Structure 1
C-alpha cells in the first residue's frame, strides 16, 4: 500500500542514524570464504508503531479511516529507525562476522564449522526479537554471494552479471536524462575502471547546465569505452590490513587517477576530472 506521507513528514523532527558505507562493509569481508545471506520479510512492517502514536499515520480510503500498526514506507525517519533497530539487534555480531544493510544481513566466515555456528547465533537472535526472514530470498553456506550489486567470494569482489548485462545492452542515450541514468549505473562500479572520470568526461559535459545536448563522436567513444571496460571489469581483491598496501598514481591533461594494490592485485581504482586552474598544474602537482 502506498500512502502520501508528506503532511506528517513536514512536521516531523528529523532523526538521522548513520547508514553504513558500502566500501566499509566490503572491507570487513576480507579473508572470508563462505557466506550466507538473510533477507527479512517486509522489513519495515516488522517494526511496530509505538502504542498511542498510531493515529499520526491515519489515512483515508473510500471504505473509511485507517491507521498503521506497523511502520509504513514513506516516513522520513523510517530508514534511520530501521537501520538503528537492526544495528541494535545484531550489535554483538557486527564487525565480527555480520554486516547489515537495512533488511539484508550477510554472515561471513573463514571455515564451514565457524559459519554454521555463526548462522545459529544470528537465527537465535532473530527468533528472540521476532524478526522473520523471507525464506525464498535467503541463501546459506555458499562460496560466492551477490550482495548489494556486487559478487563477493574468497577471491575478491566483482561486478554483478545482471548489471553487466544491462550495461552491455544499453543503447546510446538520446537525451540528458538518459546520459545521467547511464552514468549513474556506470559510476556505481567506477572503482573497477581505471581513469573512469577521464573516460566519462565527454559525457559528463552534456549534463552541465546550459549545455545543449549533442551526441558527437567524443561522447560515443566514451560511451562505448565505458561499456567495454565495465563488461570486462577485473576481479578486485579485498584488502588485508595486516599486509602492505601499494599506491600507483598518474595524471593527464584532464584528470588524475590511481590504483590501490596489495601483492600486485588491484583493490580499487580512483580517478577525478580536473577543472579550472588545476588543469594548468604540472603533472607532479596534479
Structure 2
C-alpha cells in the first residue's frame, strides 16, 4: 500500500516512500487503551478479541493471483541475517507453521525476508515482495479515499466506535496454485536446515492485499447492515478503510447496540479485533489520524508533535519527506501553498539549497501546525460557501458552513495553477483558480449547494476575453462548470484575502476594479499596430519560416524580404520547430523596421 523501497547499502537499511504515499504512514495513531465496558464485554462472543492467533474469514474464497503475460519466475537470494536476529524470528516462524499460515514448499520462485525491529525490542517478519509485485496483474484499487470518507459524518452524530482488525490480511486464504509465488528461504538457527516456506494466507507486502481484503470486508459489512441492522440510517453511519471500521451514532444507546452487533458479526465471521486499539462508544475517537468528536475533526497532538520535532532537512530526500508529512495536513493550514513555496522551489534545484527563505518557510509551517484549527465535518444537510482568490499563481480558498450566525471552516485549499494558466492575465488566473477550487471543494460537498465568492467578474471575463487565451476544450470545460451546474452559484466579493472572509459579514459588494477593462488596458495591442495596410509605407515586408528533417535531424530557418531584395535570411539551431521559425521571422522583421512605417505580411 505504501509502495516503499527498502535499500540495503553500506551495512545500513534505508526506507524510501513515494511522497504521495507518506501520508498513509500517519493513518494509524497510538490510542490510549481503555478497559472494555462490562455490558459490552459480556454481550459479545469472547473469541472476537485478539489473543495472538490470527483469525480466518469464514466467507472469503481462496484468492487466485494472476501473473502478467510472458513473465518469468523470480529467484532472488536471501539477505544475510545475523544469527541472534534469526533466533529472535524463529518463534514467529514456528508459530505460523503450527497455525498453518506458513507451510513448506518447493518453488521456482523465491524472494528474501528481513526482520524489522519494533520499538518494543521484538521483531516483525517482513518479506520483500517488490519483484513479485512487478510481475503480477494489478487490481483496480477501490479502497476508500481518506480525504472524503468522513463527509457522511454530520454534526448530529455524538457517539463513536472505532475497531481495528488484527492481522487482517492473514484472514484471507490464498489459493493452492498461487502460494508458490510467495516462497522464501529459511534457515533454522538451531539445526542449520535450509528449506523454502510460503504463505497459505494473503501476505503482507503484496500490492493487491489491501484491495482484496477491503473488498471482502466491505461485502460482509454490507450483508450485516442489510440483514442485522434495524436502526434507520439517519441515526447511524458505518465507514470502512481497509481493516479499520468506524461507527457513528446520534445516541449512546444506539452506538452501544450497534457496537455489540458489529463485534459479534466480526467475531463470528472469523476475524479478530485488537482490544488495545478498540475505541468503543466514546464521544471522541481517533480515526485515520484525526481526532473526531461531534461535528469536528482536528489534527492529533501526537502527529503535530512528531512533525514539529523533525530537524532541519539536510538534503532533498529529507525535505521531500517533511513536505509529504506536512502536506497531509494542508487542509488545516491557511495559505499552505504560499508558506511551502520556497521549500518546493528548493526541491527543483539540482544542488541542495537552504537559505533564509527556506528556513522561514520551514518554521512557519511548523507554527501553522501548532495553530491548526479544529475543522467542521462537512454537513450534507447544509449549504457550503467557498471563498476563492489567486495569489502568486496559487489558487487559495476557504470552504465554510454556517453554524448559527458564524461561518465555520471545513477546509483550507491551496492549489498550484498549471503552466498554461499561470501565464494568463490576473483576472483570468482568478477564473482558473475558481474552477480548480470548485473541483477540489466538490470532493467534500458531494453535490450540495455551493456558493462561490470571488473578487472578479468570472463569467464576464470568461465570455468576453476567454477566447483570446483559452483553448476551445478548456473554455468549454470552464463554461460547463461555472454556468451549467445546478449546485454552483457564483457571487462577487471584493475582498482578496481568504482569511478576511471568515471575519467579514459582508458577502456582496461593488467591485474595486472592472476585470474586462483592466485586461483591455494592460494586455491590448499597441496603438500604432493596425489590422489594415497603411498607405505609402517605407517597406512592404514579407516573412516566412520553415523546417525539414534530413538524416534524423530537423533543420530550420527564416527569411525577411521585400518584393525586390532579401533583407535577412538565416538558419536556426538544429531542432527548431517551424512554428518558432515563423515567430522568429516576424520578430526580426519588426526589429529591422525600427523607425520606419512598414506593412508586414505573414502567413
With structure 2 as the length reference, what TM-score do the two structures score?
Answer: 0.45
Q: Distance in 2 between matches of 1:16 and 1:280?
A: 37
- 1:198–1:273 Cα contact (<8 Å) kept: no
Alignment of 1:126-275 (within 5 A): 126-208=266-348, 210-263=349-402, 264-274=407-417
Q: What SS does the aligned partner of 1:167 have?
A: helix
- 2:173–2:201 Cα contact (<8 Å) kept: yes
Q: Distance in 2 between matches of 1:280 and 1:9?
A: 42
What are the superposed Cα offsets for residues 167-192 of structure 1, whole Å, 9 maximum, x if unpaired?
22222212111111111111001011
Bigger RCO of structures 1 and 2 (CA < 8 A, at least 6 apart): 1
Q: Distance in 2 between matches of 1:13 and 1:25?
A: 27
Q: Distance in 2 between matches of 1:276 and 1:232?
A: 32
- 1:201–1:273 Cα contact (<8 Å) kept: no
- 2:331–2:411 Cα contact (<8 Å) kept: yes
Q: Distance in 2 between matches of 1:211 and 1:55?
A: 44
What are the superposed Cα offsets for residues 100-131 of structure 1, whole Å, 9 maximum, x if unpaired?
11111111111111101211221222123111
**1:284 aligns to 2:441 (yes or no):** no
Q: Distance in 2 between matches of 1:7 and 1:155?
A: 45
> Aligned-pair distance for 1:193?
0.9
Alignment of 1:72-83 (within 5 A): 72-83=203-214
The number of residue pairs the alignment matches comes to 285
Structure 2 CA distance for partners of 1:202 and 1:36, relative to 1, 3 Å = same
Calculate the aligned-residue CA RMSD, in Å: 2.0
- Single out whichever of 65-74 and 230-239 deviates more from structure 2: 65-74
Q: Distance in 2 between matches of 1:102 and 1:34?
A: 22
Q: What SS does the aligned partner of 2:267 have?
A: helix
**1:118 aligns to 2:249 (yes or no):** no
- 1:17–1:84 Cα contact (<8 Å) kept: no
What are the superposed Cα offsets for residues 115-157 of structure 1, whole Å, 9 maximum, x if unpaired?
0121122122212311111111111111111111111110411
User: Which runs of 5 or more structure 1 residues have no equivalent in the other structure?
Assistant: none
Q: Distance in 2 between matches of 1:107 and 1:275?
A: 39
- 1:115–1:141 Cα contact (<8 Å) kept: yes
With structure 1 as the length reference, what TM-score do the two structures score?
Answer: 0.92
- 2:152–2:380 Cα contact (<8 Å) kept: no
> Aligned-pair distance for 1:278?
3.2
- 2:393–2:416 Cα contact (<8 Å) kept: yes
